Amino acid sequence: MNFTKFGFLSLGLIGGSIALAIKDLYPDSQIVAYARRQETLDQAIQAGAIDQGTTAIDDTFTDCDIIFLCAPVSINNRFLEEIKLHISEKTIITDVGSVKGSIHEAVEKLGLNKHFIGGHPMAGSEKTGFENANPKLLENAYYILTPTDEVNKDAVDAYYNLVKDMCAIPLVLTHKEHDYVTAAISHVPHLVAAALANLVHDHDSKEGTMKSIAAGGFKDITRIASSSPDMWEAICMSNADNIADLLDDYIDSLQTISKAVREKQKGFTFDLFTASKTYRDSFTDLPKGPIKKIFACYVDIPDQTGAIASLATLLAKADISIKNIGIVHNREFEEGVLRIEFNNQAACDEAIKLLKELNYSIYSRK
């Protein structure tokens, strides 16, 4: 089985990126899309992401091989009801949501089990909207598929191969496995980061001393606390039981740690950090997921006018792109006074090699 006609309901960052990737791979394929605003459709047509757009969910989608639902969970559930009236026997429906339980329940109620394969591309950006779509966004990202028991196996294989062709990493799970796994590695960490950020906020002085001297370790662990409140509210409500169960276990572990620290139990924290270090150090070249890998190095530079500009110019002349650059004011848990962030590991490695050859003192962390 091969997909030749694709449909998209909503064209945001993820939907737009998938559409662009498909067009790059299969320029002869046909892609039709629905969006609320004609401007979005016009933009997508001009970018070459789609061939036809519509502001109504209608028979435009009838002969699609696969239709991607690319809106938030609650809207995707409504899309299911509308698109059910316009699909053919061959049509596969998928989604891109980060919680799968709710949509699988909706699929069951609507009798669409033979048509549905849940999808979750574990990639994203702090930017949103079709204007930020990128055909390379999914590269090296896990892309989880959650097929129903009744869907055609050939369709699952075709979707699996499509994901591989987009250079993502396909992984097939049940929707229950998916929601438990993502609760542990994404949803709970976001809540923990938010709670830690608020803890420091609530205990900081009026002068904001804690905020001023917050070191890299604190910034790293709380980075995801800056995520969209609207999106994470919806995720937490959609995966509440799994999140609550794992949070309860985490709270129990924190209470055990608190007791051991208060009682100064010798060796407890050593064993704790040893175990966590061993496990964390086993994460090698993590693909992009909900918690993104950061490619950065730290450089010692002289405190003189033009030092940063000179270093940036050296990298630019070597055609090495910088994603972000900034001075580290608190070096308690950081090496180097200048932190340089890159878009990928190859650029980071190339920059480190170049700067070492020029006798800069370079530091990097896992």
Q: What is the pLDDT of residue 216?
A: 67
- Whether residues 355 and 276 fall in one domain: no
Q: What is the average pLDDT value for the chain, to the nearest integer? A: 89
Q: How far is the CA of 256 from the CAs of 44, 236, 272, in angstroms?
A: 53, 26, 11
Is it the case that residue 288 has pLDDT exceeding 80? no
Domain that holds residue 321: 295-363
Q: What is the pLDDT of residues 41-83, one digit of tens each?
A: 999 999 999 999 999 999 999 999 999 999 988 889 899 999 9
- The CATH number of whichever domain residue 15 belongs to comes to 3.40.50.720
**Taking the chain, what is the end-to-end CA distance rounded to the nearest angstrom?**
42
Distance CA 138, CA 290 (A): 12
Last residue of some domain: 246, 280, 314?
A: 280
Contact residues for 242 (Cβ-Cβ < 8 A; gap 6+) = 179, 180, 183, 187
SS3 at position 54: strand
What are the structure tokens assigned to 333, written together? 């848990």
Residue 138 in domain: yes
Q: What is the pLDDT of residues 24-43, one digit of tens each?
A: 999 999 999 999 999 999 99
Structural domains counted in the chain: 3
Last residue of some domain: 173, 197, 232?
A: 173
pTM of the complete model: 0.78
Residue 290 in domain: no
| Banded pLDDT at 157 (limits 50, 70, 90) | very high
Q: What is the pLDDT of residues 229-255, one digit of tens each?
A: 888 898 899 999 999 999 999 999 999
